[in-house]
Chains A and B, each alone.
Chain A
Amino acid sequence: MSTLHTVNKSSYERDSLEACVRLAAKGGSVLLIEDGVYSAMSGGDKASVIENAKADLNFYVLGPDMKARGISEDRLIDGVKVVDYKGFVELTVENDKVSAWL
Chain B
Amino acid sequence: MSDAKKFMYINRKAPYGTIYAWESLEVVLIGAAFEQDVSLAFVDDGVYQLMKNQDTTEVGIKNFSPTYSALGDYDINKIYVEKESLEARGLTLDDLQHLVWEDEDDDWAEKDSIRVVTSAELAEIFEQQDVVLSF
Contacts and interface: CB of A to CB of B under 8 A. Distances in A.
Interface of A: 8-10, 12-13, 34-35, 38, 41-47, 63-65, 67-72, 84-85
B28 to A, nearest CB: 20
A102 to B, nearest CB: 11
B61 interface: yes
Interface string B25-63: 000000000000000000011001001111111110101
B14 A70 contact: no
B45 A63 contact: no
A69 B45 contact: no
Contacts of B63: 68
A16 B54 CA distance: 24
Contacts, number: 76
Given A13-B44, A35-B16, A35-B45, A68 B88 contact: no
Contacts of B16: 34-35, 65, 68-69
Interface residues of B, number: 26
Contacts of B57: 67
**Chain B binding site: helix, strand, loop or mixed by DSSP?**
loop
Contacts of B91: 43-44
Given A67-B54, A68-B58, 7 more contacts: A12-B88, A12-B89, A44-B88, A44-B89, A44-B91, A69-B14, A70-B51
Interface of B: 13-18, 44-45, 48, 51-59, 61, 63, 65, 88-91, 95
A7 to B, nearest CB: 12
Contact of A35 (B14, B55, B61): B14
A10 B45 contact: yes
B16 to A, nearest CB: 6
Contacts of B17: 8-10, 34-35
A13 B58 contact: no
Contacts of B52: 70
